[in-house]
Structure 1
Amino acid sequence: MIEEPPIDIGRLIGGDENVFQALFVDYYPSLISFAIKYVEREEAAQDIVQDVFVKVWETREKLRGVENLSAYLYQMVRFKCFNHLRAEKIRHDATRSFTEEMDVVEMNEYIKEETFRIVMSIVEELPPGSRNVFSRAIQGYSAKEIADELGITIETVKKQKQNARRVLKERLGNLFMFFCL
């Protein structure tokens, strides 16, 4: 077995690109294999290991205190893998939460629209007097405003609303409680 000479950390710290290239060639494949055990995706492992080498080059001055460069590289890759996994979990949780929230919002919107459709179809079946009064009432008009607009008494408005409520209650059952006008 041929043993390669150890990497000259002093020359690496000094910015010798040939030493850095030798370090990269020596460790890149094994660091990729190591990272894959954590992140389970080769593309992510490659990105992590490349980031580690960039960081080593950019902060090579910090290598002065490193006694075991090999252990240092593996430790850096391990930490980067943990950071990657943490970021993926946060991204996954946020996406899931957003999706669940959207599902709830969409479902609520569907329920609202479907309920409105059902109520309006029942309102359309009301006798004309009750339909005119009730339509205005659900738009927020007061009994006096409805009476003035339709040229009827307030008592007639109240009676027409009462008739409309009775029909809606019969037809809507428990759903009617949401429409207490």
Structure 2
Amino acid sequence: MLRLDKQNADDDNLLLRQIFAGDERAFNQMYYQTNKNIYNAIMAYVKNEHIAIELVQQVYVKFWNNRQKLKGVQNLKDYLFIIAKNLTLDHFKKVTKETKFFAELTLRASDVVNTTDEKIEQIEYDKLLQNAIGQLPPQQKEAWLLVNEQELSYAEIAEKMNVSKLTVKRHLELSRKSVRDYFKSHIDTAISLSFLAVLIIFFS
């Protein structure tokens, strides 16, 4: 058993050295050897297949992009699990922000609009959002609408747009930033500062 453990550790160290040097074949080998365990670990927390698959992909993209830091890594599998844990925590933080945002929207929608000012504010908000979405580049706009109106997963959007899930993620990051910036630059004439705070939390 000790000899087998040592062999596994030696194999992992060899893979780390090869990946550090930019060897894509070594990276692919490492991926196929480890992705099932990473998926199971993430799935145990998120309980959603689409989200788990997306997070697994993010784990290996981050691993590859940070391969120059592998020189000091002692244990390949532990390093992968640390990346997976951090990305999973980031996911839950994002979900918490979005939950707060939609809770605020639901609360606003459930309140009876009694005054003309409040009605105007809602109309102006809807108009502002449509204008912000309308000024997005075509692919960012398409990704925004697919995720926010059709509620498609990243994988479904990637297939529909014929791009990778990472490209979808980038389109959404850029579109959220653009919408947020648009709101910031037009907010004074449209909606109250209190609601702006909620928007900034959501789009940040």
TM-score bracket relative to the smaller structure:
0.5 to 0.7
How many residue pairs match? The answer is 109
Structure 1 spans left out of the alignment, 5+ residues: 111-181
Higher relative CO (Cα under 8 Å, sequence separation at least 6) belongs to 2
Question: CA–CA distance in 2 between the matches of 1:35 and 1:103?
Answer: 36
The residue identity in structure 1 corresponding to 2:19 is L
**Match among 38, 48, 51 for residue 55 of structure 2:** 48
Question: CA–CA distance in 1 between the matches of 2:113 and 2:66?
Answer: 53
Does residue 1:20 correspond to 2:18, yes or no? no
TM-score (norm 2): 0.50
Structure 2 spans left out of the alignment, 5+ residues: 116-204
Shift of 1:108: 2.8
**Match among 52, 68, 72 for residue 65 of structure 1:** 72
1:99 paired residue number: 106
Aligned pairs (5 A) from 1:65-144? 65-104=72-111, 107-109=112-114
Q: Which has the greater radius of gyration?
A: 1
1:38 paired residue number: 45
| Residues 39-88 of structure 1, C-alpha deviations (whole Å, 9 max, x = no match) | 11111111111111011111100011111111010011011101101101
Question: CA–CA distance in 1 between the matches of 2:62 and 2:52?
Answer: 15
Kindly indicate whether the alpha-carbon contact (under 8 Å) linking 1:32 and 1:42 is maintained by their aligned counterparts in 2.
Answer: no
The residue identity in structure 1 corresponding to 2:73 is V
Q: Sequence identity, in percent?
A: 24
User: What SS class does the counterpart of residue 114 from structure 2 fall into?
Assistant: helix
Question: CA–CA distance in 1 between the matches of 2:71 and 2:97?
Answer: 35
Kindly indicate whether the alpha-carbon contact (under 8 Å) linking 1:66 and 1:72 is maintained by their aligned counterparts in 2.
Answer: yes
TM-score (norm 1): 0.56
2:202 paired residue number: none
**Match among 11, 14, 18 for residue 18 of structure 2:** 11
Point out 4+ residue stretches in structure 1 off by more than 2 angstroms: 1-5
Shift of 1:109: 3.3
